[in-house]
Structure 1
Amino acid sequence: MIGILLALQINNWNSANVATKKERGILTELSSGLKLDKSILKNALRKDSLDLIGLYSLDSLLNYPEHDNNSDINKLFGKVYGFRFVRVNTAFYEDLKSSGLQVLKDDEIRSAVVNLFEDNYVFLKDLIDQERSVNQVNRPYFLENFTNLTFQEYAKPRSIKLIWKDSYFKNLVHYRIITLETNQIKWYKKTIEDIDNLQSLISIYLNE
């Protein structure tokens, strides 16, 4: 009897040890993936934040209709046009969800993982659809009134006088500013903060 109980205890200990190693492996891999996603988001945030400054400059310049056309202004026009989104990795989470999130024993970590991927990452994934909506508004106007179009980089007006006095174009600039602030910049910042929080929880847990 004692031998059987001892064998059961050893078996339970081995099972717990295997589960712990599996969990630590998952958390380590997850943390590495989040590090890559954070780098992608930081680069996108940096670029979009600089472009937002350019868009605000353009918005201010549009109050001066006598402004001459030049390549610098064309670069500002280009920032109004084009898609802005990032691709983050959700495959690891989907695999984890399929195999069972209960492998993550710490409730706070598990909750942070679910919130990050089911909230932030879902929004980031849906950005492409939102950007299509933005492009449907901007594209016809740009194709009609600009040449030498390069997404987010350059657009040369066919008639600078027309553009400078067109209230509809001013509305397009405002629309791009609003969507850039409330979609990309807001959610990139939030996701980076949430990734930092989750990575901190993982680091503390693994080092306990």
Structure 2
Amino acid sequence: MIKFFRKIRQSLLSEGKTGKYLKYAVGEIILVVIGILIALSINNWNQERIKTKQTVDLLNNMISDLKADITGLNRDIRRYEKSISNGKLILNTENFDSFSADSLYFLLPTKVVTYRVTTQAFEKIKNLGISKILDSNNLFNAISSYYTSNLFYLENVIKWEYDSNIKSFEFWALDNQFESAVFAGVEFIPYSDEEAVRKNALIKLVSSIESRNHIRQAISKKNRIVKTLKSTKTDAETLISLIEDELNNNNKSTTSYN
């Protein structure tokens, strides 16, 4: 092709057709420029395609992470609500005859969770530069909010309840009058007191004003945790919806372009 153009130029020059030669030269330059622009356009299209696929893959991974979060949040909400219900049962029960010592003890609202939001997809997006791969400001803000401020608040509320619950647990587990059954590895070691003695000691313990205040405080804090867990779950569901909308819009744009 280059030899062909060269022959045309040489022929025009040898024939003394300077005007036609200049027109031809200009035309050739224009063709070269058009070729460069087409090459750049193809390259940009290819880069955009790669970026779009990368974004789609990461957003789909984030949806998987968020669904895992929702599963974990639902599990912990149920656990806390059960613990709250058990605490209320102790406070509202006047006759504990139907309970064994251990079954009554395990109703105490001492359970805690140390839930951690799944952040694998977010970390990958953050490392790539979240603002560079997301075109939607609403989605960018929602992702940033969920994995930064919301996550920070959730972790601190859980830690606050966990630290407080450790003190409450020690109050119940290390009482001088009741031999606890909760320590790992000692389940089959017999108690020093008979069942009736242990049960009466525990009933006396849970009926005291100090114990009832411990239970009330635990219920109050667990209600706070449940509220936070439910709020986080709602945020996760909203974020999934926003991501799915973004993926649908991207799919429509890609289809239209093709």
TM range, smaller chain: 0.7 to 0.9
Greater relative contact order, per chain length (Cα 8 Å cut-off, separation 6+): 1
Matched position secondary structure for 1:207: helix
Matched, 1:33 2:65: yes
Hey, which bits of structure 1, 4+ residues long, moved more than 6 A? none
Residue matched to 2:105: 74
Residue matched to 1:195: 236
Q: Structure 2 vs 1, CA of residues 161 and 15 (structure 1 numbering), >3 Å: closer, same or farther?
A: closer
Q: Structure 2 vs 1, CA of residues 158 and 82 (structure 1 numbering), >3 Å: closer, same or farther?
A: farther
How many residue pairs were aligned?
Answer: 198
Matched, 1:171 2:202: no
Distance 2:119 2:149 in 1: 12
Using the size of structure 2 for normalisation, the TM-score is 0.69
Identify which of 196, 204, 227 aligns with 1:162: 204
Distance 1:129 1:157 in 2: 32
List alignment gaps of at least 5 residues for structure 2: 1-32, 185-197, 250-258
Distance 1:81 1:88 in 2: 22
Residue matched to 1:112: 142
List alignment gaps of at least 5 residues for structure 1: none
Residue matched to 1:149: 182
Residue matched to 2:87: 55
Q: Please say which structure displays the higher CA radius of gyration.
A: 2
Report the alpha carbon displacement of residue 180 of structure 1 after superposing the two structures with TM.
0.5
Report the alpha carbon displacement of residue 46 of structure 1 after superposing the two structures with TM.
1.6
Distance 1:168 1:22 in 2: 58
1:74/1:157 contact within 8 Å kept: no
Q: Which structure shows the bigger proportion of residues in strand conformation? A: 1
Q: Structure 2 vs 1, CA of residues 150 and 123 (structure 1 numbering), >3 Å: closer, same or farther?
A: farther
Distance 1:5 1:69 in 2: 85
Using the size of structure 1 for normalisation, the TM-score is 0.84
